[in-house]
Amino acid sequence: MTPIVSAVKVGKSFGTVQALSDITMDVAAGEVVCLIGPSGSGKTTFLRCINQLERFDSGALFLEGELVGYRRAGDRLHPLAEAQIAQQRRATGMVFQRFNLFPHLTALGNITEGPVQVLRQRPAEAAEHARSLLAQVGLSHKADAYPSQLSGGQQQRVAIARALAMRPRLMLFDEPTSALDPELVGEVLAVMRDLAERGTTMITVTHELSFAREVGHRVIFMDGGRVVETGPARELLSNPQEARTRGFLAAVLS
């Protein structure tokens, strides 16, 4: 079966800084992958390359077998036009660290915006789906609330529903609980756990090691823009093979 994500020697530089080097990995359908590592290790950059908020500049990245962001002409890869990039982005849902809900739209409006404006669904149909997603994240009663009237945890759950509304084949989470007050982290992780149990393919950049251990199928430890170690979640977290992984885990857990 074609992996959902297939990265082959993906690299990315910001000017003279090499943010990503030789990232090679596959993510299978239904797999929950957690990216961990110190800040500046490239895990967020890699996530943003998958949905093309950043453009990788070497190697190749495939989403369900389709080359991301480029088309081949002879022995060169040419960047896709903006419309095609927008088209490819629909396959992935993104949840941001700082939620990034649209403040001028209600919770329901945030969720239906993509389906109605991008997928051209009928508003009634989109609203029906949105209400079922709000129920799924436990916020049926907040459909008409504006983001400013919601707590951080509620905003992040609406943001997850907004991403799910596009029926993505892959969900990307960029430190989804880092901007939350400690008592609100649990409700967001519970929604993510529920998604994982429903068989959603997920890549999560996270510092929540207990979530990675319990929900993650695989953990990838990155440092300096490279994959240092990868393995089944429990195994890697309890018995890391690389010295850098051990150092990082010791620092985080202490």
Partner 1 sequence: MTEPAAVVLDSASALDIAQLRHVRPRHWGRIVSATCLLVLLALLVHAFAIGQINWATVGVYLTWPTILAGLLNTIIMSVCAMALGIVLGVAAAVARMSPNPVLRSTAIGYAWLFRGTPVILQLLLWFNLALIFPVLGIPGLWSARAVTVITPFAAALLGLGLNEGAYVSEIVRAGLLSVDAGQYEAAKSIGMSHSLSLRRIILPQAMRVVVPPLGNQFITLVKTTSLASVIEYAELLHNAENIYYSNAKVMELLFVAAFWYLVVVTALSFGQAVLERRFARGIARAR
The DSSP element (H or E) to which 110 belongs, if any, is helix 107-117
| Residue placing its CB nearer to partner 1 in the complex, 72 or 98 | 98
User: In angstroms, rounded to a whole number, what is the distance separating the alpha carbons of residues 230 and 29?
Assistant: 18
Q: Min. distance of Cβ 142 from partner 1 in angstroms? A: 13
Q: Min. distance of Cβ 82 from partner 1 in angstroms? A: 6
| Residue placing its CB nearer to partner 1 in the complex, 191 or 233 | 191
| Residue placing its CB nearer to partner 1 in the complex, 101 or 236 | 101
**Helix (H/G/I), strand (E/B), else coil: 94:** strand
The DSSP element (H or E) to which 190 belongs, if any, is helix 182-197
**Helix (H/G/I), strand (E/B), else coil: 252:** helix
Q: Min. distance of Cβ 179 from partner 1 in angstroms? A: 11
Residue 186, CA atoms < 13 Å, CB-side half-sphere = 2
Using the rule CB under 8 A, is 122 a contact of partner 1? Answer: no
Nearest CA to 208 out of 244, 184, 242, 239 is that of 184
Stretch that binds partner 1, among 36-44, 144-152, 212-220, 228-236 (CB under 8 A): 144-152
Torsions phi, psi of 241, nearest 5?
-90, -30
x/- mask, partner 1, residues 163-202, rule CB under 8 A, reads x-xx------------------------------------
Using the rule CB under 8 A, is 93 a contact of partner 1? Answer: yes
Stretch that binds partner 1, among 17-25, 61-69, 103-111, 184-192 (CB under 8 A): 103-111
* 42, 27 Cβ separation under 8 angstroms: no
Q: Which of 3, 9, 96, 169 binds partner 1 (CB under 8 A)?
A: 96
Residues within window 56-75 making contact with partner 1, judged by CB under 8 A = none
Q: For 165, which DSSP code?
A: T
Using the rule CB under 8 A, is 135 a contact of partner 1? Answer: no
Stretch that binds partner 1, among 16-24, 113-121, 198-206, 214-222 (CB under 8 A): 113-121
160 Cβ contact partners less than 8 Å away, ≥ 6 residues apart: 95, 137, 171, 176, 188, 191, 192, 195
Rg (CA), the chain: 18
Q: Min. distance of Cβ 233 from partner 1 in angstroms? A: 26
| Residue placing its CB nearer to partner 1 in the complex, 118 or 252 | 118
User: In angstroms, rounded to a whole number, what is the distance separating the alpha carbons of residues 33 and 23?
Assistant: 14
Nearest CA to 208 out of 177, 237, 233 is that of 177
Q: Where on the chain is the footprint of partner 1 (CB under 8 A)?
A: 51-53, 82-83, 86-87, 89-90, 92-94, 96, 98, 100-106, 113-114, 117-119, 146-149, 162-163, 165-166
